């Protein structure tokens, strides 16, 4: 049974190493297997050009919608555990990665923790087409903590030549 304090959460996935498409699909399965997470749906997969150093492969991105009563900081640790299990190694800022899992939105909550790993909504979420477009596909009416709607931010996001794959 889900508890009454269940939140809908949007999680962003990205990979550009070792078969990115399969890495993203495997990560979705890994997240589905976490106790306390109820999987709702996932977006299409998208290919995007890198936002950091350009001497790297394109990324495969997706967003999933789940509901959970796991607190955001605990959820972050679980996602980092999955990243580690997939062999994620931070090489450079905005660099290559086997898998990247980000909590984009945690219900209507605004969370500013002391660590940059847990700032919700995700600090770059509203400027990234590979976040906004897949999210709108699965949660078109998503409302932000400031009561604006995610769809209102689409025009302002940077373009990474997003291609649905």
Domain 7-164: homologous superfamily in CATH = 7,8-Dihydro-6-hydroxymethylpterin-pyrophosphokinase HPPK (3.30.70.560)
Give the torsion through C-alpha atoms of 76, 78, 81, 86, to 10 deg.
-100
pTM of the model: 0.89
Q: Which pLDDT does position 1 carry in this prediction?
A: 43
Contact status, residue 41 vs residue 28, Cβ threshold 8 Å: no
| pLDDT averaged over 10-residue windows placed end to end, the chain, 165 residues | 74 94 97 97 93 84 97 94 85 76 91 77 86 94 91 80 84
- Catalytically active residues, by annotation: 88, 97, 100, 102
Q: Which pLDDT does position 51 carry in this prediction?
A: 75
Residue 138's contacts (CB-CB under 8 Å, 6 or more residues apart) are 40, 41, 42, 43, 63, 64, 65
Contact status, residue 31 vs residue 101, Cβ threshold 8 Å: yes
CA distance 76 to 56: 26
Segments making up each domain of the chain, as ranges? 7-164
| Number of Cβ atoms within 10 Å of the Cβ of 11 | 24
CA distance 56 to 119: 27
- CA nearest 144: which of 111, 107, 113, 112? 107
């Amino acid at each position: 049974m889900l508890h009454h304090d269940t939140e809908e959460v949007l999680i962003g996935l990205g990979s550009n190493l070792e078969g990115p498409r399969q890495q993203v699909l495997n990560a979705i399965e890994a997240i589905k297997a976490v106790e306390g997470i109820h999987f709702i749906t996932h977006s299409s997969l998208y290919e995007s050009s890198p936002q950091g150093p350009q001497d790297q492969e394109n990324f495969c991105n997706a967003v999933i919608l789940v509901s959970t009563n796991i607190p955001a900081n605990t959820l972050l640790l679980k996602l980092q555990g999955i990243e580690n299990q997939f062999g994620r190694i931070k090489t450079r800022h905005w660099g290559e990665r086997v898998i990247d899992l980000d909590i984009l939105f945690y219900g209507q909550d605004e969370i500013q923790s002391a660590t940059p790993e847990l700032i919700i909504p995700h600090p770059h979420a509203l400027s990234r087409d590979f976040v906004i477009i897949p999210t709108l596909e699965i949660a078109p009416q998503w409302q932000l903590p400031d009561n604006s709607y995610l769809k209102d931010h689409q025009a302002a996001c940077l373009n990474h030549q997003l291609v649905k794959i």
